[in-house]
Amino acid sequence: MDREELLAVARHERDALGRTVQYTPPERWLEASPCEGWRVKDVLAHLAASEVAAAALLGGEDATELDEYRKSLDGEPVTPDGWNAWSVRRRADDAPVALGLEWGRAADLLLARAAAAAEEDWRDLEIAWVAGEIRLRYLVQARVAEWWVHGEDIREGAALPPRLEHGPVSLVNDLAIRLIPYSLSLADLSFPGRVVKVSLQGVGGGAWVASTEAGAQAPEDAPPDALITGRGYAFASVAGGRADADVCLYEGLLNVGGDVELGEAVLRTLRSFP
């Protein structure tokens, strides 16, 4: 997506998640969510903390809560899981209404600052995010991916139906495919010089060609070593950690051709968050 389209999808997704929060029955906020150990309310707390930090960093301000978390570690390394658990615990007693307002205001500020960024900043500016440096454009995409994935978590915990919309699901899939080399490396897997083609149908569908090497760009006409096909929603659910790759393969929602070992390794390590 180009900048205008991505920001339009981001604005739409911000509003859609706001409606999900609005439509969640009050009695469901303390129910268990699909995120292990987190209540539905805790998912919203996680989003609120992340959005406040992201909006501050994008505005060139100190992310005070993130800095406080770093200081609490006494020199130990910062980890996304550690930050998530710490920031959610801080909001354990906050009401869902307060969490929704905190998240919504920070998301609005994030999008306003992203829209106002100069073109060269949109393309090249790097933000010191939790897991490391990330370019502005990909920070926005990653936030949208989290809004959709965690929006589905809230909806499942609230007994609401899934929200099948092409724009955000496509952004989740696109980011997951870009992260293939990184995701493989986290599992200590390496497939140097290989090319994967992903062809998805339905909501979130599209066609991508990706290299398994970090920093490498596979030509669109490069012959793939592995081919992954199937449904866009299933691929996004696997990337978000909300569906099992092997179950999707067994049920035919996703399929692998060519180098099966490579294709299955990609699906089993797939992730939509840097």
Q: Considering only CA atoms, which of 110, 160, 117 is closest in space to residue 10?
A: 110
Q: Considering only CA atoms, which of 234, 274, 38 is closest in space to residue 154?
A: 38
Q: Checking DSSP bridges between strand 195-201 and strand 132-135, what pairing results, if any?
A: unpaired
CA–CA dist 238, 168 (Å, integer): 15
β strands within the chain, DSSP E: 126-129, 132-135, 195-201, 206-211, 226-231, 254-258
Return the half-sphere exposure (C-beta side, CA atoms, 13 A cut-off) of residue 46: 23
Domains in the chain, start-ordered, CATH in brackets?
A: 3-162 (1.20.120.450), 171-269 (3.30.1050.10)
CA–CA dist 53, 90 (Å, integer): 14
Dig out the tokens for 67 from the structure: 């800095």
> The pTM is what?
0.94
The pLDDT score that the predictor gives to residue 217 is 87
CA–CA dist 144, 14 (Å, integer): 8
CA–CA dist 62, 75 (Å, integer): 19
Q: Per-residue pLDDT tens, the chain, 274 aa: give them.
A: 899 999 999 999 999 999 999 999 999 999 999 999 999 999 999 999 999 999 999 999 999 999 999 999 988 888 999 999 999 999 999 999 999 999 999 999 999 999 999 999 999 999 999 878 999 999 999 999 999 999 999 999 999 999 999 999 999 999 999 999 999 999 999 999 999 999 999 999 999 999 999 888 888 888 999 999 999 999 999 999 999 999 999 999 999 999 999 999 999 999 998 7
Classify burial at 132, counting beta carbons within 10 Å of its beta carbon; exposed 0-12, middle 13-18, buried 19 or more. Answer: exposed
CA–CA dist 62, 194 (Å, integer): 41
